Chain A
Amino acid sequence: MINVRLRKIFRTNDAPFSLDVDFSIRGKTAVLFGPSGSGKSLTLHCLAGLVRPDGGSIRLKERILYDNTVFIPARHRRIGYMFQDYALFPHLNVLQNVAYARSGFFARHPRRDDRETAMLERFGIGHLSRRMPGQLSGGQRQRVALARALNADPELLLLDEPFSALDTLLRERLRRELRDLFATLTIPVIIITHDPEDVDIFAADIILYGAGNARPVPDYQEIRAGFASAGDCLRRLQETAVMPESS
């Protein structure tokens, strides 16, 4: 159970952007769906503790991560974050990247104990442990990023557009791989996407984003059954999403 209530106003050069969202996630996977610039990444940044909201509260199970008096910094939140570009450390090899959360200060000489080995094997990247991120394919990079995040023992996993850096064919395959992986995880996962295909594969809970606000769609599966494709269904939902805002 994750409760999120956030207010944040950004003053950029052009227009001020204001995020105002309030939702809860009960299931194991949730999808934040919406156009770019609607505040999805900002929400994840706030969840991970990388951005301090102006107000609201964040609760993960029994743990309060943020409210009026509490702000737990990112390093103590135990929230895994996979960035859109995977953000692998380019000066460290695959093993050093994966072991970062549990290795020494400089991360140069990671212990390669059973745990790291098992993690590398689990993602089928054991043979790549000495490679540098620059020498990896897109799919391999994603696996390293996932292994690195999970090796830190997170209590929640956040994925920011996990497939946007990949070509279409690879996307198909990794989508299934990721779904199988999630089935083995005991922690909840939140995924950002603007691809309806992703919603079909992953969605349990879906949070619909539009220009700085969010609307949970708890009965998404039922609504989806009435449409030919996920794209049609989501388009319809986005159109109707304006209604509660104006009332």
Chain B
Amino acid sequence: MGVLDISVLGALGLSLRVAGLATLISCVAAMFMAWLLARKKSPLPTFLDAACTLPLVLPPTVLGYYLILLVGRRGLIGKWLNDVGITLIFSWQGAVIAATIVVFPLLYKSVRAALEQVNPHLENAARTLGASEWRVFVSISLPLAWKGIFAGLILAFARGMGEFGATLMIAGNIPGKTQTLALAIYDAFQAGNDLLAAQLVTLTSCVCVFLLMAAEAFTTQKGRNS
């Protein structure tokens, strides 16, 4: 296929799918955790808050190692999954799990910060008007925090696109199956295939720049409306 190899497109598609799914799953989890930890007053949140941020400071390879202990063929959950016929190791779903864990702190941090920005009087006003905690969260807090959450989404997606270490350990580097762009670049470079490496690097850069520009356009347009 001339300039762009079909495997290059496959790697791009896989990267987008993995990063997209990981961002989505992380976002839902991050919202839930942020909501939970913003409310309850006990020593547990301090510990949980630290736990939620941990993947940000641990090297991805360490995360990959922990994940293998957890979902590997003989892992805590993996053993049980294996019995039902699900293998996450060396599958693209495994790559999604790795990316989800890696991007989670970014989303958690931005969701948390965005929710804390919301004027508590607004949430209290909704409560006195008869809204349940869940309704307050969905109809008041989330719409007002949306901008900050969106910024976190873009950041997380970009980070998910570039995820390397944990993905390599969990999903391996199987061309056409689990080889994402980041992995393909490393492969091509190692194999001395400089042209392919350059193509992949250019492609990745373009996607990331496009994402940032789209995010910028979206947020400024939103800002003008409100």
Contact = CB atoms under 8 A, between A and B. Distances in A.
A87 B119 contact: yes
Interface stretch (A12-20, A99-107, A222-230): A99-107
A50 interface: yes
B139 A107 contact: yes
Nearest to A154: B128
Interface stretch (A22-30, A76-84, A174-182): A76-84
B124 A105 contact: no
A100 B122 CA distance: 12
Contacts of A91: 143-144, 226
Given A75-B130, A75-B132, A81-B128, A89 B140 contact: yes
B113 interface: no
A74 B136 CA distance: 12
A81 B125 contact: yes
Interface in B140-194: 140, 143-144
Interface string A46-61: 0011100000000000
A87 B129 contact: no
Contacts of A49: 127-128
Given A87-B119, A90-B144, A90-B226, A74 B138 contact: no
A148 B129 contact: yes
Given A106-B138, A107-B139, A87 B124 contact: yes
B128 A74 contact: yes
B74 interface: no
A228 to B, nearest CB: 37
A91 B145 CA distance: 11
A79 B127 CA distance: 10
B121 interface: yes
A85 interface: yes
Interface in A102-153: 105-107, 132, 134, 148-149, 152
A87 B125 contact: yes
A83 B128 CA distance: 11
A83 B125 contact: yes
A149 B122 CA distance: 13
Contacts of B124: 45, 48, 50, 74, 81, 83, 87
B126 interface: yes
B131 interface: yes
Contact of A89 (B122, B130, B132, B135): B122
A127 to B, nearest CB: 22
A134 B224 CA distance: 13
A189 to B, nearest CB: 14
A85 B126 contact: no
A134 B135 CA distance: 23
Contacts of B144: 90-91
A81 to B, nearest CB: 4
Contact of B139 (A77, A78, A85, A106): A106
A182 to B, nearest CB: 19
B167 to A, nearest CB: 37
Contact of A105 (B119, B121, B122, B139): B139
The 6 closest A-B pairs by CB, nearest first: A87-B121, A74-B127, A87-B125, A101-B129, A81-B128, A83-B121
Given A75-B132, A79-B128, A87-B122, 10 more contacts: A50-B124, A50-B127, A74-B124, A87-B119, A89-B125, A90-B122, A100-B129, A101-B129, A148-B129, A152-B129
Interface of A: 45, 48-50, 73-81, 83-85, 87, 89-91, 100-101, 105-107, 132, 134, 148-149, 152
